[in-house]
Structure 1
């Protein structure tokens, strides 16, 4: 077993000592022993761009600069390289989780420039485009100001000029500007641009082109382009999201990514895919990878918030039933607020470990020319179109609940939850708006039968039921039979080694299942599945019981999936549980704590003016009162103004 260090003793030991399992074994079970994330954590701390104090106040330019340095550092970390995470098929989701919890903006910036851009070139281009793979700062231009999910309605055009053997890119108006392009605002030199292919006044649909954007020597845009930055956002400001408009911008014919469709020098269209709908779907196939990745991102950000909130709940004490205060994690209402989301995070973790490996294997098989992958590709598209919205919505609610569950302290920037909430928000929109994606999955379910995506689970149960039946050496010495014995052995060792862990995971699955089911109770009645109050009562009581059963294990369940403190970066969620010590340090050390504002003299001048005004008013009121004494109404109207009489009447009241 790999060496995983113990936590520093502290207030959380109360719950850690009550856990019914070893959190280290669970951590290794979820990650696999050889893929433990500790080696990545140790490596990251050697790179100075990742040791930045993220709580310090920074200008937008500072944030962008740090993100750029981190992006460059990412490229030089061998443990995070494509060869380590994909070619060796180590847990591909592990790198995503770690980096998104540490530095989400630069991680997305790196993914767009070095993975999405490169994957699009490889998947849709041919040998003539390989020169763009290395040492290029790329971006991916699909969305337009006026069109997002409706990709068929894109207005950017690429019209072929037979005389010059060039494509001429045009944006009809600002609505056709490519927008929200990660990396384009300030840094990208090249872009994958989707445009309607026009040949001899005929539209052949959306096609992808590799387009030079900036001169690498000066970083200035080329003539014919209007390139700009989208400006500050509510999160992920390290990413320079930009826009581009094309005004008769010319690119060579060979810049068309031509694996799915090509144009000859004399302007004829040739394609191996005759069906325009299939060609359109294939052109956007790279987006499935983005959705798979975002599902992992949602899980990672939710776990970060849950780690903070649950550890805080194990330390924060309030309102004891008699005299002594107790941790708020002991309260049923608090358990109900947090523990179902912890169960949801575990369900996502297990799903992502499985699905990302399936996807990356599919990607490798596609690149090496394996046949018969179309059905699997269709199913991956359908699953990614539903798991991304589900993960995004559930973890959005989890993060918000964590913020509120930490009370006022959760509103501090130093708690870390606010940044997680803001950075997570984009997951609900990019790579496909959630509601539109759900419709795509629904369409797939209506058209074809599923391909039994969870066979790996049911097969494990069947394997454990099998017995040794060979009676001769000949029966034994059959490759398939020997392999079946190894399958049984593997399943049995997993079952016996992690039996207690599996029990805890089953509890978390049941809790997530019932908790999710509670939201659909009206449909159970509407469809006639149930009548009367029994179902509602049982479901709700079941949720509360499971929350109570998992309460003592909540801290250790979080420990097994939590990032280390230098990534968590939270005064409320540190592994030592010293909440108030860290709060005091954060409050006392912030730059505003003991300092008067730079504009303090303005306050004094205002107060002086205000005091003089108040003094004058007071003197005038006293004068009015003294002079009013023993005066008739007629005399008052002669001596004083209407306002002064009103002041006197207010005084009498």
Structure 2
């Protein structure tokens, strides 16, 4: 990769972290532009500067009441939309360029103010994306309002009794041809839409998914734009009941709500009609021959939301490891050598490296993976919206869905686990609110559930892989994998015949070895999962029961390793664009990511007879430790390359200046009531308590 201009990236302040920064074998700014597109990074920097200069975005030093947080978050979103970073002119940009820019802006917002980002993603970005891909010219005036900042929406899909099983949702939208209106009804509380972000207090429109009825026939779940509040008074319209769901365990600034409808009418034109429409006379017309594909096309828009969550998880992971690594380079405890009086930075201890460095490698791999995959995904969406028949893209859309369905669980779970490990690695200081792990954890926690529960979503990826295996193994066809994520399955006989013959640790420390292992592992587990399902069917189980009873140890593991493999594969492809010392370090990160993951799956290699001696397990373990040690001198510079500015990370433990104890002292003293007696002191005073400051009376 040719050297590029890095002058727009600010230098890091000198300080105690220089002891490790000077050991780096590469230019951290050049590496930053491997992880970031230069022009998009400038957009982020512009936004972060706006936020830092805006008093409404000043962070509180104390936990605020939930209602105050909802109010402040709403005001922050209001100010953010006034920055005009998102301009109506952007609406005229080519789809891919426009959407990449929008995602970059929301990415920069998400890593800094996740509550505001979620409100914006649901109420603006997802709304605009859905109107663009599912709507037509008759919805242009609504789309214009979203671009102009005069409308805020919400996504009303989940119901009290149904979330993952969308086909069983019971909110109805029945066409009345006499008035050319849809009549929306909620049959009972279990069918109430719930967990709807922006609904509780603030939005005026809902992107509602309801069962469409016309001429007494149900045509499945469809999307409707539904006005729900008067934009002047913010009071619900008659026929609409809206409530706030109350306290949550995180993202307190989001006003999650529930909504119920009673004979509520909307114009016929409010149906998003790119895939299907109802004529004024009540005739249902679809561009699909199968009703199930309509639902699939409508819900495929959720992939954009899931990609955004993957992006958000990647950035939260980066923040967590940045804080923990910088702290580890500064925090000194005990001595590595008995004859040394100087205390040792905890980053020098093998156990600490083993705890943190694999997550640093995951942060690097995920950052590249999500960027490369997003470009691929947006290209596909751009083609599908330009095509006259979306069905032409069924194969590639199915594979994209499989990638997303495995990657979203992988990335959100990895981020969740990393935040906790990083918090613990910072000891008691990591428990401070000002360390920021609590806020990051609060933002990460819901991602494993919303936009598709991880355990349920992952089954869609394993089901897709099983279908490809059936093609290869029993129909003698090539796998239907236009993006090439499982084309290797056609060589299953050669792959399953592989065995491990390594004898030294270097045999496991190569990208090619890791690639070989993943091909074998996926092929073996997809075969065994398929065989187990067939065995269950042969005993009288139906296909659904067989799928359900082959998840533990098999299909769920298949989903995980498929996600890991895709992240690794995309990363290696981008790695080919680099050279020199930076390439060496990036390759080491990829190797650590691979061997640390493979070591966790070790039992399957023995179960499938890929490995037959203890050396495989022993060498993988030694490989993890060797890879960690090899990264130690570069790891501070690596997180410098990955990390956003101090304002974004917002951690007393992870500042770029490295002045750990000075920053802690300032934080302690900034507590508004740090040095004051509590207002409630009289309530805890014990009458007659001895004053030990006074000398004891002599008899």
- Normalised-by-shorter TM-score class: 0.7 to 0.9
* Displacement of 1:590: 0.6
Q: Following the alignment from structure 1 to structure 2, what is the Cα–Cα distance between the partners of residues 122 and 494?
A: 34
Q: Following the alignment from structure 1 to structure 2, what is the Cα–Cα distance between the partners of residues 226 and 609?
A: 58
Give the aligned partner of residue 666 of structure 2: 585
**Alignment of 1:425 onto 2:435:** no
5+ residue gaps, structure 1, are 456-460, 462-490, 612-653
Is residue 61–residue 671 contact of structure 2 (8 Å, CA) maintained in 1? no
Give the aligned partner of residue 451 of structure 1: 482
Q: Following the alignment from structure 1 to structure 2, what is the Cα–Cα distance between the partners of residues 370 and 303?
A: 41
- Of stretches 372-381 and 268-277 in structure 1, the one that deviates more from structure 2 is 372-381
Give the aligned partner of residue 477 of structure 1: none
Give the aligned partner of residue 29 of structure 1: 34
Q: Relative to 1, partners in 2 of residues 1:88 and 1:246: Cα closer, same or farther, differing over 3 Å?
A: closer
Is residue 138–residue 191 contact of structure 1 (8 Å, CA) maintained in 2? yes
- Of stretches 60-69 and 395-404 in structure 1, the one that deviates more from structure 2 is 60-69
SS at match of 2:111: helix
**Alignment of 1:358 onto 2:376:** yes
* Displacement of 1:496: 8.8
SS at match of 1:528: coil
Give the aligned partner of residue 20 of structure 2: 15
1:512 alignment partner, one of 557, 570, 593:
593
Give the aligned partner of residue 344 of structure 1: 362
Q: Following the alignment from structure 2 to structure 1, what is the Cα–Cα distance between the partners of residues 454 and 67?
A: 31
Q: Following the alignment from structure 1 to structure 2, what is the Cα–Cα distance between the partners of residues 15 and 264?
A: 69
Note the 1:67-146 alignment, pairs <5 A: 67-77=73-83, 79=85, 82=90, 86-87=96-97, 94-133=104-143, 134=145, 135-146=150-161
- Of stretches 235-244 and 262-271 in structure 1, the one that deviates more from structure 2 is 262-271
TM-score of the pair, normalised by structure 2: 0.78
Q: Following the alignment from structure 1 to structure 2, what is the Cα–Cα distance between the partners of residues 160 and 203?
A: 11
* Displacement of 1:192: 0.9
**Alignment of 1:183 onto 2:198:** yes
SS at match of 1:545: helix
* Displacement of 1:35: 3.6
- Of stretches 585-594 and 181-190 in structure 1, the one that deviates more from structure 2 is 585-594
Give the aligned partner of residue 259 of structure 2: 244
2:610 alignment partner, one of 529, 536, 553:
529
Between structure 1 and structure 2, the one with the greater Rg is 1
Q: Following the alignment from structure 1 to structure 2, what is the Cα–Cα distance between the partners of residues 367 and 568?
A: 37
Give the aligned partner of residue 563 of structure 2: none
Note the 1:250-649 alignment, pairs <5 A: 250-321=265-336, 322=338, 323-369=341-387, 372-448=392-468, 449=479, 450-453=481-484, 498-604=579-685, 607-608=686-687
SS at match of 1:36: helix
**Alignment of 1:65 onto 2:71:** yes
SS at match of 1:373: helix
| RMSD of Structure 2 on Structure 1 (CA) | 2.5
Q: Relative to 1, partners in 2 of residues 1:137 and 1:93: Cα closer, same or farther, differing over 3 Å?
A: closer
Q: Following the alignment from structure 2 to structure 1, what is the Cα–Cα distance between the partners of residues 99 and 235?
A: 40
TM-score of the pair, normalised by structure 1: 0.84
- Of stretches 421-430 and 370-379 in structure 1, the one that deviates more from structure 2 is 370-379
2:54 alignment partner, one of 22, 28, 48:
48
* Displacement of 1:41: 5.2
Q: Following the alignment from structure 2 to structure 1, what is the Cα–Cα distance between the partners of residues 369 and 66?
A: 36
Q: Relative to 1, partners in 2 of residues 1:226 and 1:443: Cα closer, same or farther, differing over 3 Å?
A: same
- Of stretches 255-264 and 417-426 in structure 1, the one that deviates more from structure 2 is 255-264
CA deviation profile, 1:263-313 (whole Å, cap 9, x unmatched)? 222322111111112111011111011111111111001111111000000
Give the aligned partner of residue 643 of structure 1: none
Q: Relative to 1, partners in 2 of residues 1:516 and 1:550: Cα closer, same or farther, differing over 3 Å?
A: same
Q: Relative to 1, partners in 2 of residues 1:609 and 1:120: Cα closer, same or farther, differing over 3 Å?
A: farther
Q: Relative to 1, partners in 2 of residues 1:199 and 1:394: Cα closer, same or farther, differing over 3 Å?
A: same
Q: Aligned residues, how many?
A: 575
- Of stretches 330-339 and 221-230 in structure 1, the one that deviates more from structure 2 is 221-230
- Of stretches 54-63 and 579-588 in structure 1, the one that deviates more from structure 2 is 54-63
* Displacement of 1:194: 0.8
* Displacement of 1:59: 2.4
Q: Relative to 1, partners in 2 of residues 1:514 and 1:92: Cα closer, same or farther, differing over 3 Å?
A: farther
* Displacement of 1:47: 4.6
CA deviation profile, 1:372-429 (whole Å, cap 9, x unmatched)? 4333222222211111111011111111100000000000001011110111111101
Q: Following the alignment from structure 1 to structure 2, what is the Cα–Cα distance between the partners of residues 289 and 506?
A: 30
Is residue 44–residue 50 contact of structure 1 (8 Å, CA) maintained in 2? no
SS at match of 1:318: coil
Q: Following the alignment from structure 1 to structure 2, what is the Cα–Cα distance between the partners of residues 439 and 112?
A: 25
Give the aligned partner of residue 192 of structure 1: 207
Q: Following the alignment from structure 1 to structure 2, what is the Cα–Cα distance between the partners of residues 33 and 533?
A: 47
Q: Following the alignment from structure 2 to structure 1, what is the Cα–Cα distance between the partners of residues 649 and 121?
A: 21
Is residue 74–residue 110 contact of structure 1 (8 Å, CA) maintained in 2? no
Q: Relative to 1, partners in 2 of residues 1:327 and 1:254: Cα closer, same or farther, differing over 3 Å?
A: same
Q: Following the alignment from structure 2 to structure 1, what is the Cα–Cα distance between the partners of residues 369 and 180?
A: 49
Is residue 31–residue 91 contact of structure 1 (8 Å, CA) maintained in 2? no
* Displacement of 1:92: 6.4
Is residue 93–residue 352 contact of structure 1 (8 Å, CA) maintained in 2? no
* Displacement of 1:49: 5.0
Is residue 245–residue 258 contact of structure 2 (8 Å, CA) maintained in 1? yes
Q: Relative to 1, partners in 2 of residues 1:374 and 1:603: Cα closer, same or farther, differing over 3 Å?
A: same
Q: Following the alignment from structure 1 to structure 2, what is the Cα–Cα distance between the partners of residues 235 and 373?
A: 38
2:174 alignment partner, one of 111, 134, 159:
159
5+ residue gaps, structure 2, are 469-478, 487-510, 512-571, 691-699
